[in-house]
Structure 1
């Protein structure tokens, strides 16, 4: 086996079917991977397993394969999800797949230790192959989704990247400070669309916060809602509190809570009603006048928990 090489599951087409199958099995069985015993050898072990890691990549979806790993009679492998997608025929040689498990490759995967895929974003941890996926789904260094709710934006990145993206691409208003005083006006309040009216980003305590205000239907009742999201993880969000206040004609509503992390989607926060909810009749009462125009002033502040 060449240095740095891996398992050879795909054999030259010039061999017979039986020889291809037996050769693949022999090379799998002869492959040995010693577990690194310290940090320096761990780095060497990771680099020497690159070929094996590539072999564990499904040829259809290109994602890492996890048990059950399937193989065709010729030794070509693919993941269980893609086995259904290719209608039980090998995407490489078109042979019928049957129900053959590649147990040798699954066993080799148990010996691998690999870095988190978010290594370039700051995660320095190394994990056994079968623990890596679970970690990556919850890794605190994983990219954030764009918090803009006015469109299906697919941009992801770290917080500085998303702040620049919101300012340049979505033209979101950016403010410095921990207090806000916004006036929302709508000439025809009878039109209630399930869409965001406004998103404002605040730079406060060296962190960024997203203030959402929108109209939507709560059952059959039109409502308006304002809520705050923290641009960071949940554990950091719990260090802050915020309050919102809206009123008029001698009455007011006040909301106080902890900002939700942008790890929680805009829809998830909105549908849990975790914010200041104002029914339209109350909003029009606050607006005064002939109740034909919506005029709401929402004030609030953000503070750090001691």
Structure 2
């Protein structure tokens, strides 16, 4: 029986001890210094050997404290410790609550490049700052802004514009003003909502105009809003207006486009756009109120 815990499965193992990891990490640190020849103000730059030590064997992601280990020295991250039900995935011994403090100390001395280095980010970060940077890195890929279906495509803006045009068959328009007519034969249907997206090329940038039906509490509403294909700090340089109406009445909206860094659902649920109640939408549609016919006009301008 392994010290400090019961076994999940009877096995005979011969694996590195905690000391072995410490020695190997120290050797890799020395190798990183000599083979790369770089030292940062926070510590040494890592090479692949050290990266392998810090890679969780289950999820293959870099590990951050608390780093756990079994009595035989096998390590894994805290998220995966719960996933494997406290049983070491390598030797099947009970993991217990042992921290690998030596490996955590090694990680503290490292500096690593951003994982988006290939996309243009050339900064080096202390190991424990790297994850936070990557969550906000300007070079990280964007998610596809198309709504109404689950799309896992990511990429830079030119890639996504081509993807929207070729794969989602989205309408593309040049210009900063628009006049769109939305027609729906059954205005009571929400399950297959009016998912519509148009992309505008304006001021050399791209904007996504969304129009859809959804349930807001007990009421069916229609909503139009604009998203900017870029980061939030750039989106704030622009403004837009929307207008819908008929029979001498109109609704107007003016706002700032939201970055596609914010998900479509987040923008929609925040109600940051032009919202049209169903009864008013049908009034604007005219006729026998059995068909939705809305004309939405708008413009985009750049703030000085």
Same fold, TM-score > 0.5, yes or no: yes
Mapped partners of 2:139, 2:75: distance in 1? 31
Alignment of 1:101-250 (within 5 A): 101-193=99-191, 195-250=193-248
Residue number in structure 1 paired with 2:66: 68
Shift of 1:41: 2.2
Question: Would you say the 8 A contact 2:113–2:122 is kept in 1?
Answer: yes
Structure 2 residue runs of 5 or longer lacking an equivalent are 1-10
Residue number in structure 1 paired with 2:94: 96
Which residue of 17, 20, 43 maps to 1:24? 20
Question: Would you say the 8 A contact 2:212–2:224 is kept in 1?
Answer: yes
Shift of 1:194: 6.2
RMSD: 2.4
For structure 1, which segment, 27-36 or 267-276, has the greater mean C-alpha deviation from structure 2 after superposition?
Answer: 27-36
Question: Would you say the 8 A contact 2:70–2:95 is kept in 1?
Answer: yes
Which residue of 262, 276, 283 maps to 1:278? 276
Shift of 1:111: 0.6
1:299 aligns with 2:297: yes
Q: Against the structure 1 CA distance between its residues 170 and 302, is the aligned structure 2 distance closer, same or farther, given a 3 Å change threshold? A: same
Shift of 1:171: 0.7
Residue number in structure 2 paired with 1:41: 38
Residue number in structure 2 paired with 1:10: none
Question: Would you say the 8 A contact 1:116–1:127 is kept in 2?
Answer: yes
Secondary structure of the 2:99 match is coil
Q: Against the structure 1 CA distance between its residues 238 and 40, is the aligned structure 2 distance closer, same or farther, given a 3 Å change threshold? A: farther
Question: Would you say the 8 A contact 1:201–1:211 is kept in 2?
Answer: yes
Which residue of 57, 81, 84 maps to 1:83? 81
Structure 1: which 4+ aligned runs deviate by more than 4 Å? 13-17, 28-32
Secondary structure of the 1:232 match is coil
Shift of 1:101: 1.2
Secondary structure of the 1:195 match is coil
Q: Against the structure 1 CA distance between its residues 42 and 194, is the aligned structure 2 distance closer, same or farther, given a 3 Å change threshold? A: farther
Question: Would you say the 8 A contact 2:13–2:91 is kept in 1?
Answer: no
Secondary structure of the 2:125 match is strand
Which residue of 36, 42, 50 maps to 2:48? 50
Shift of 1:81: 1.1
TM-score under structure 2 length normalisation = 0.89
Mapped partners of 1:22, 1:129: distance in 2? 21
Secondary structure of the 1:217 match is strand
Q: Against the structure 1 CA distance between its residues 30 and 283, is the aligned structure 2 distance closer, same or farther, given a 3 Å change threshold? A: closer
